[in-house]
Every structure is written in C-alpha cells, then in structure tokens.
Structure 1
Amino acid sequence: MGGTQGLKRILAIHDLSGWGHTSLMASIPILYQQGLQVAAMPSAVLSTNTDYEGYQMQDMSAQMKRSLEHWARLGVSFDAVYSGFLAGEDQVGLVKEAIERFAAPGGIVLIDPVLGDCGKLYSCYKPSMVEAMRELLPLAEIITPNLSEACLLLGRDYNPRIGHEEAQGYCRELQKMGAKTVIITSAFSPKPGYSAIVGLDERGKDHYLETRYLPSVCPGAGDIFATMLLARLINEDSLGKAISKAAAFVKEGILLALSLGEDPRCGIPLEKALKI
C-alpha cells in the first residue's frame, strides 16, 4: 500500500489521551508539521493524560493485533517505527512484531521506554514491565529514557545528581543491552538552573547538551522531545543537531505554556507552539 509519493512514513505506537497534549495527541501533529506521514497504533485510549485524577483507560491490545494483521495484508512498510507508552508487558511482543514486519530496511526504530519518573515506576506498571521493556532494546536504533527510566532498565538505584561521566557509563551499559544509540534526558547538570541531555551514539561519540531547567510540571515533554528528535533525524539532521532542535522546541513550548497561564496538566499548547 503506497503513501503520498516521496513522503517518509512513521508508525507511532503510543497511547491516545483524549485530553492533553501528550502521546499520540502530540506526536501526530508534530510529525505532520515536519512533513512526515503518520500511521497511529494506539496502545491504550485514555479519557485524559495520567496527570488528571480519575482518568479512564482502555487497553487496546486486541485492536493492535487486528491492525497488525490488516496492515500485513495491505503490504505496508514504514521508514521509522516509534513506540512510547504501552498498556502492559504483553504489548511488548506486539511492538516487536510491528518492528519485524513493517520496519523498512535501513529505517529507524526509536523506543521511548516509558516506565517512570522522579525515581519511581509509574503506578500503572508492575516491576515485570521493566523486564519486558528490556526486550525491545536490541531492536532499537535509538532509545530516549529519562534518567529514572535508565536506572530502572539497568536495575540501579536512582540518583538524580549523577555527573556527566557516570551518565555516559549508563549509556554504555544500555548499549551493551542492545540499544545502538542512547539519549538520556532529565540528567543532572552542575550548572545552576540547568539540566542535561546525555547521549552516546553507535560510533561511541558523546553528545551532551545543557538546557535551562524550568520549574513546571509539563506532561508530554518527553513524548514531544522524542517525536521532534525522530522527525529531524528522518529529515536528515545529524544526531547532535536533532537533539538541539528537539530540546529547543520543548523549552520554548514550556515557556509558552507558562506565559499563557493555562492548566499545566494539559502540557505544551501545540496549536500555538507549532504555529499552524
């Protein structure tokens, strides 16, 4: 099945939150704005993102299986497969199947291993989810864990103040687990008022970027960073340039949200940030 001629195609496997600029509600408009064609495979459908008390969630595993079978009959393929939040460990196998069936030769597989934050596993997951997520690392060209998720994947105690050298060590350990390029977000920076992004590519090149720390809860910031990173890589930016552009977009988006004084649980106001 062909897409629009000449356009790169992305398969995005994330949850769909009906309210709030997170997951597919963020990824789809960003990828379109970047000139890319998107196919969405919702892992779960939620009434709101999980920052809202009382959110309702429906696991979409059965529909994911049906989509995989239908797309196989249609003969689709994708220049990138990109996964984020999964509703449970059983969906890891479905993501693996999607990669094996539909990732075009030479394409990008980006795994955002959504597991937790602030040193804790998300309440919707059991510890077995961490072990399941590790199974995706050997299939990934790029992973984008935050520091908490890197620690969970490595079985390490969370230390929010690890230095650059130790964070690079984490990247190397994650590469030994199979990931080719590792980018850790929300890492510590010794520069007051800043946090850091620490990365190591498959050639062993160190990537380090300090970004202004903004004291604001911003759901979806990690989704938006990973989405913009992927978009810029598909559009043939270097890894370093893609990291810088993605980080700048998130920073400006958070500043915009703060300036508008809107409910921070909604995340970045993409209708303004994307200037559509």
Structure 2
Amino acid sequence: MESKQILLINDLPGYGKVALAAMMPVLAHMGHILYTLPTALVSNTLDYGQFEIMETTEYMKNTLKVWKNLGFHYDAVATGFIVSEEQAQLIAHYCEEQKKQGTLIFTDPIMGDDGKLYNGVTESALMHMKHLTACADVIVPNYTEACLLAGVEYKAEGIDRKSMVELIEKLRQAGSKSIIITSAVVEGQDVVCGYEHKTDSWFMIPFHKIPVRFPGTGDIFSSLVLGHMLHGMPLKDSVKQAMDMVAAVIARNAGNEDKYKGIPLETELDMLK
C-alpha cells in the first residue's frame, strides 16, 4: 500500500508505550513515513504517580520554522496531548495553515475523562481545543471530551441513541467533519459511535469491555484508525479494524505484571497487520 507522510504532534515518554512511543511503531509498521513534534518530554507514564514533564513550546516553534524552510509537507497531521494554552494556539494555527494545503487534520482532543478535565487543563485551554477541533477533518474524543467540546451535560450512567446523535450533531455544527466518540455507553451498551462526512453515514459499534487497564490503548486505537484511513479504508471499517486489534493486544497482554508501562508494542506488531 502507498506510504503517506504523517506529522505526529504529541508528548514523548522516557518510559512507557503511550503517546508518540505508542503511535510511532504502529504507523511505521503500517508503512507510513513519520515526522514527530513532541509537545513535552515526560519521564514515564503518569500512572506511576511520580513523573517529570518538560514543556517544549520553543523547540516546537523553531522546528516548524526549520521544516517550513526545508519545504517539508504532510498528507496528515495528527495531534494529541497539548501542554499549555500557548501550544494549543500554536498548533491550531499551524493546522489551519496545513489544511489549506490539503493536509488531513486528525485530532485526539486529550482533555479529560469521567466527566471532568484532567489536572492542569484550564477552561481557556478548552476554548483553544474547540478551535482546533473545529478545523479538524477527524476528531476522536472520548465521551467526556465530546461533552466538554459540545457544551452538554456528562451523564455517568450513559445516554440513549437520540442523545448520542444530538451530541455528534453539535460537534458537526461546531466545525468538525468526521467524528469518532469512544468510551461511550448508549442504552446500557459499551460502544464506539461516529459519523463519516464523506458518505454522510452514522455508525455505532458495540464492544465487550475487557476489565484490564493499559495506558496508551487510545493512542494505539487512533494510530490504527488513521493508518487504515490513509490506506483508503472507509472510516467505519477503519474504526472496526482498530477496535478488534486493540482488543486482541489487550487480551494477549492481560496477564502482564506491570501494566503502567502500557502494551509492549514491538512484540505485538504481528497482530497489527
């Protein structure tokens, strides 16, 4: 399959398979050519409870200038964890410029879970993220993030189909084209829901939740969806393939002693074909 050029904007952990450390092996294994722009250097996955984070905003600014001078271009830009309001503004502006050149913008708006913002994510940062998702071709929020972006009430018990359609419609009205909402409960069923703008079609794919938590599975999922899309697969099929693959690697690693480091992807790439 044809290789595509992808710019990944996310944090880089010193230890653990999350963010760039999870996305790079997956997308490289799928045959894509990668550029990486770390938003922060993080000592280890946050699950360990102790960590060090170094913001890289100035490095990002200077790197983008160098790459512009070198004439680098991308088929897609994928954004993830953004450390500060300044970074959010920088990335949103850059993605708007890239989109005008025909680049696909794929955004995972990492902001919160369980109905609340993550520590350190401000209301102002939320506004910048709304700006970024409004220019995105594909967004991949979890249910909490979708509610935050749409300004609707989060319901821990889940919602009905009509409410999910209304939630997606609000995100579309705000500017996002195709939408994938993960970690949702609709009428008592765990599902991934979405809308594909190219075909004007909706989908709701149920799944069985495996009672094991690994950090980085969302990054693996997003990478697989993006990688398949860039190979020409329809969005719904890309999502289903990604769901099946993530479930398989979680099940195969369920007995790992140290789950905080994430899934050891280099030993699992055979399952990601």
Matched, 1:148 2:133: no
246, 258, 262: which one pairs with 1:263? 258
Tell me what 2:230 maps to.
Answer: 234
For the pair 1:107 / 2:109, whether they are aligned, the reply is: no
Equivalences, count? 268
* Aligned residues: CA RMSD: 1.7
Output one character per residue of 1:57-101: Cα deviation in whole Å (capped at 9) or x when no partner.
001101000011000100111000000000112112221243244
TM-score by length of 1: 0.92
- 2:57 is aligned, of 58, 61, 64, to 61
Structure 1 residue 273 and structure 2 residue 268: aligned? yes
Secondary structure, counterpart of 1:42 in structure 2: strand
Normalising by structure 2, report the TM-score: 0.93
Q: Which has the higher contact order (CA 8 A, sep 6+)?
A: 2
Task: Quote the Cα distance in structure 1 between the aligned partners of 2:260 and 2:186.
Answer: 26
2: CA distance, partners of 1:8 / 1:75: 16
Q: What secondary structure sits across from 1:165 in the alignment? A: helix
Cα deviation 1:12-61 (Å, max 9, x = unaligned): 00000111111000011111000000000000110012212111000110
Amino acid at match of 1:63: Y
Counterpart of 1:221 (choices 214, 217, 238) is 217
Check whether the contact 2:15–2:43 (CA below 8 A) recurs between aligned residues: yes
AA aligned to 2:92 is K
Say if 2:146 is the partner of 1:132: no
Q: CA deviation at 1:189?
A: 4.2
Report percent identity of matched pairs.
32
State the SS of the aligned residue for 1:51.
helix
1:181 to 178, 182, 185: 178
Pick aligned residue for 2:196 from 189, 194, 201: 201
Unaligned runs of 5+ in 1: 1-5
SS in 1 for 2:210: coil
How far apart in 2 are the matches of 1:253 and 1:127? 35
Alpha-carbon distance in 2 for matches of 1:7, 1:224: 19
Is the 8 Å Cα contact of residues 80 and 104 (structure 1) preserved in structure 2? no
Contact between 2:225 and 2:238, CA under 8 Å: does it hold in 1? yes
Q: Does the alignment pair 1:210 with 2:206? A: yes
What are the within-5 Å matches in structure 2 for residues 40-59 of structure 1? 40-59=36-55
1:75 partnered with 2:57: no
Q: Contact 1:150–1:184 (CA<8 Å) still a contact in 2?
A: yes
